[in-house]
Structure 1
Amino acid sequence: MNEEINKVLQILKQGGIILYPTDTVWGIGCDANNEKAIEKIYKLKQRQDSKALICLVADDRMLKKYVKSVPSVALDIIDIAEKPTTIIYDDAQNLAKNLIAEDGTIAIRIPDDEFCYQIARKLNGAIVSTSANISGQPSPKSYKEISPVILKGVDYIVNLHHEKICSKPSAIIKLSNSGVVKIIRE
Structure 2
Amino acid sequence: MEKETAASVAHGLVLVHTGDGKGKTTAALGLALRAWGDGLRVLVLQFIKSGGSYGECQGVAALAAADGRMELRSCGRGFTLRGKTPPEEHRRAAKEALQEARTAITSGQYDLIVLDEINYAVKFGLLRVDDVLSLLDVRPASLHLVLTGRDAAPEIIARADLVTEMRAIKHPYEKGIKAQRGIEF
TM-score (norm 1): 0.28
User: Which is richer in strand?
Assistant: 1
- Structure exhibiting the larger radius of gyration computed from Cα positions: 2
User: Which is richer in helix?
Assistant: 2
